[in-house]
Amino acid sequence: MTPSFYLAPLRFSFLTVACLCLASCSDSPQTYYGAVIDTDGALDGPAIRMELKEQGRAQVRMEGEIAATCPKKGCWMDVVSGQDTVFVRFQDYGFFVPTEGAEGKRTIVEGEAFYDTLTVPMLKHYAEDAGESQAFIDAIEAPELRLAFTATGVMIED
């Protein structure tokens, strides 16, 4: 009786366990805001621009990294997706995201993408929300056309 011969299957099984556990446990916890959404088939900024060429608005899922959230109420967030920084607001002001700690996290948002003209008062308000300096706020003099998004649901990966 050679113990190592009998232990070989066990060694294999422990390796299998380790590999499977690493693979299965690597999923990061996800928190949903507004609604639990399906996260499959999310597009990035350039793909959304292509969709918007066909029609002015598009119902899509978008994936990106959170650059900032509204530090006062959590009523908007800037999401970097491809080359775009998309301004995301939440449908009907009906839900909010964390005011802090979300920067750099991966997100998927579901809802409507469109081009939006942000007026000067709106830009000043959002700049004030974001804690920009008075000089920065005063320097805003022209409206801005941005890729925007009204989300019905948001997933943030912790």
Residues that bind other proteins (CB under 8 A): 1, 5-7, 9-10, 12-14, 16-17, 20-21, 24-27, 29-36, 72-76, 89, 92-99, 121-122, 125, 128
Supply the DSSP string of the chain, one letter for each residue.
--HHHHHHHHHHHHHHHHHHHHHHTTPPPEEEESS----TT-B-HHHHHHHHHHSSEEEEEEEEEEEEE-TTT--EEEEEETTEEEEEEEGGG-----SSS-TT-EEEEEEEEEEEEE-HHHHHHHHHHTT--HHHHHT--S-EEEEEEEEEEEEEE-
Q: What is the closest distance, in whole angstroms, from the C-beta atom of residue 50 to other proteins in the complex?
A: 26
Closest separation between CB of residue 83 and other proteins, Å? 27
Nearer to other proteins, 22 or 54 (CB): 22
- The CB-of-156 to other proteins minimum distance in angstroms stands at 9
Closest contact distance (angstroms) between CB of 85 and other proteins is 19
Distance of CA 96 to the CA centre of its chain: 13
Q: Would you state the structure tokens that stand for residue 137, as one six-digit string?
A: 């706020």
If the CB atoms of residues 24 and 55 are measured against other proteins, the closer one turns out to be 24
Q: 5 vs 83, which CB is nearer to other proteins?
A: 5
Please identify, using beta-carbon distances, which residue of 45 and 124 lies nearer to other proteins.
Answer: 124
Structure tokens at 8: 């070989």
Which is it for the CA torsion 155, 102, 100, 70, positive or negative?
Answer: negative
Decide whether 67 or 130 has the Cβ nearer to other proteins: 130
Closest contact distance (angstroms) between CB of 41 and other proteins is: 17
